[in-house]
């Protein structure tokens, strides 16, 4: 078994560079601190604090890892201004209020997403009525059905299926074995391997004799810059559309039912499920394995904790946890009370909930 290596194994990732410190600082919109001269020092790659060498740039975002800063051998570190004077001798401080965002930008500088290779693989099956921009890439054994439209700079991966009439915008990345039907995608949409977009919603009329399927006549609309994780499924609408707003990030293994509307820049994390016709406002975070029943309204900026069972509306900006879901402070107050009762003690009604108990993104 191979030993751990720095990020960016050349077998899997294409590297650019080296890049001068001055160029990296310009990308971040920050000044170079801790280095004499004009920022001419060259940086060749990225690495975590503990593995970085003099030709690498690293970052510090979580205070938990602050002790590693004094020992790092990195040539430069992206960090908050509060830590800029704590970098070791010979290390450049790239101070920015959002170090993790800076790390994302610099990592992309060194390891950009692969550019599509314009053209159609000989094994692809393309209907004569499909409209494919000359700058698009169609991979091996992909199927593009009648009337589909593929925009410039978009790549369709191997074994992907694009159904009849589907519209995919510019600079999208549709990975291997994705199926897209009854859908219209904006620009810069990414769909990761195995995702299923636009299949029938789970709709039945129930009678004494059994179930009668209700035709699902809506579409899936996906906004600019949205990302849909691997093996996630998004049902098309019944009589309305299922809508995924711009900038929404859906993790792997997520299920979104018919007529669900997800507001811009919301995040839905792995194994969460949202039942039909639920309306989710912008900037909402739904943590892993949460389950939402149908026909709910989740207000803007709400946060739903991991494994929550949400059975009623959640107001804007509210954090909920538990099953059935309730306000975070109430949830922890009940947990602490039950624990003390189980231990034979006496619970205080003034017991406070731990701080920072809601779901969080990143590190």
Of the chain, the percentage scoring pLDDT greater than 90 comes to 83
* Weakest mean pLDDT among 22-36, 67-81, 129-143: 22-36
pLDDT at 4 > cutoff 50: yes
The rounded Cα 204 to chain-centroid distance in angstroms is 32
Q: What is the pLDDT of residues 17-30, one digit of tens each?
A: 999 999 999 999 99
Instruction: Note whether 101 and 131 are same-domain residues.
Output: no
Q: What is the pLDDT of residue 3?
A: 56
Does 203 or 100 have the greater pLDDT score?
100
Instruction: Note whether 105 and 205 are same-domain residues.
Output: no
**Assigned domain for 2 exists:** no
Instruction: Note whether 103 and 179 are same-domain residues.
Output: no
Domain of residue 236, residue span: 119-326
Instruction: Note whether 135 and 282 are same-domain residues.
Output: yes
Count of helix runs (H) and strand runs (E) in the chain: 3, 40
Q: What is the pLDDT of residues 64-78, one digit of tens each?
A: 999 999 999 999 999
pTM score above 0.85: yes
Instruction: Note whether 53 and 138 are same-domain residues.
Output: no
Last residue of some domain: 72, 91, 110? Answer: 110
Q: What is the mean pLDDT of residues 127-144?
A: 98
- Lateral strand order in the sheet of 190-191: 119-120, 137-138, 155-156, 173-174, 190-191, 227-228, 249-250, 267-268, 285-286, 303-304, 319-321, 326-327
Q: What is the pLDDT of residue 275?
A: 97
Q: Is the dihedral of CA 179, 111, 26, 102 positive or negative?
A: positive
* 274, 214 Cβ separation under 8 angstroms: no
Q: Residues near 27 by Cβ (< 8 Å), separated by ≥ 6?
A: 105, 106, 109
CATH at 168: 2.160.10.10
**Assigned domain for 359 exists:** no
Q: What is the mean pLDDT of residues 193-198?
A: 98
**Assigned domain for 6 exists:** no
- Residue-wise over 316-336: b if at least 16 C-beta within 10 A, else e? eebbbbbeebbbbeebbbeeb
Q: What is the pLDDT of residues 84-107, one digit of tens each?
A: 999 998 899 999 999 999 999 999
Q: How many separate domains does the chain show?
A: 2
* Weakest mean pLDDT among 6-15, 214-223, 301-310: 6-15
CATH at 25: 3.40.1390.10
Q: What is the pLDDT of residues 283-324, one digit of tens each?
A: 999 999 999 999 999 999 999 999 999 999 999 999 999 999
| Residue 261 burial (10 A CB sphere; 0-12, 13-18, 19+) | buried
Q: Read off the pLDDT band of 354 (50, 70, 90).
A: low
pLDDT at 353 > cutoff 60: no
Q: What is the mean pLDDT of residues 244-252?
A: 98
Last residue of some domain: 110, 133, 165? Answer: 110
Q: Read off the pLDDT band of 356 (50, 70, 90).
A: low
Active site amino acids: 258
Residue entry with tokens 């000989």: 122
Instruction: Note whether 43 and 191 are same-domain residues.
Output: no
pLDDT at 358 > cutoff 60: no
Residue entry with tokens 């101070």: 95
Q: What is the pLDDT of residue 38?
A: 57
CA distance 292 to 286: 10
């Amino acid at each position: 078994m191979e030993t751990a290596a720095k990020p960016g194994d050349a077998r899997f990732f294409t590297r650019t560079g080296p890049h001068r410190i001055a160029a990296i600082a310009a990308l971040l919109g920050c000044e170079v601190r801790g280095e004499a001269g004009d920022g001419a020092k060259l940086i060749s790659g990225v690495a975590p604090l503990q593995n970085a060498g003099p030709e690498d740039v690293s970052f510090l975002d979580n205070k938990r890892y602050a002790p590693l800063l004094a020992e790092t051998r990195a040539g430069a570190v992206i960090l908050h201004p509060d830590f800029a004077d704590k970098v070791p001798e010979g290390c450049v401080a790239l101070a920015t209020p959002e170090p993790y965002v800076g790390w994302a930008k610099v990592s992309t500088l060194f390891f950009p997403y692969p550019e599509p290779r314009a053209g159609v693989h000989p094994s692809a099956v393309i209907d004569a009525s499909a409209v494919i921009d000359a700058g698009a890439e169609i991979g091996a054994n992909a199927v593009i059905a009648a009337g589909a439209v593929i925009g410039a700079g978009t790549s369709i991966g191997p074994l992907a299926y694009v159904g009849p009439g589907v519209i995919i915008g510019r600079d999208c990345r549709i990975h291997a074995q994705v199926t897209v039907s009854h859908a219209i995608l904006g620009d810069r949409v990414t769909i990761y391997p195995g995702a299923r977009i636009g299949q029938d919603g789970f709709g039945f009329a129930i009678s004494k004799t059994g179930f009668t399927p209700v035709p699902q006549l809506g579409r899936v609309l996906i906004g600019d810059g949205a990302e849909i994780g691997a093996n996630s499924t998004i049902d098309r609408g019944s009589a309305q559309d299922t809508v995924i707003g711009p900038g929404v990030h859906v993790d792997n293994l997520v299920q979104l039912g018919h007529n669900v509307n997800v507001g811009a820049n919301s995040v839905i994390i792995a194994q969460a499920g949202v039942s039909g016709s639920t309306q989710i406002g912008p900037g909402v975070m739904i943590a892993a394995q949460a389950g939402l029943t149908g026909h709910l309204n989740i207000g803007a900026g709400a946060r739903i904790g991991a494994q929550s069972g949400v059975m009623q509306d959640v107001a804007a900006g509210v954090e909920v946890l538990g099953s059935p879901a309730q306000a975070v402070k109430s949830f922890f107050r009940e947990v602490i009370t039950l624990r003390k009762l189980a231990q034979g003690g006496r619970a205080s009604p003034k017991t406070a909930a731990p701080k920072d108990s809601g779901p969080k993104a990143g590190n």
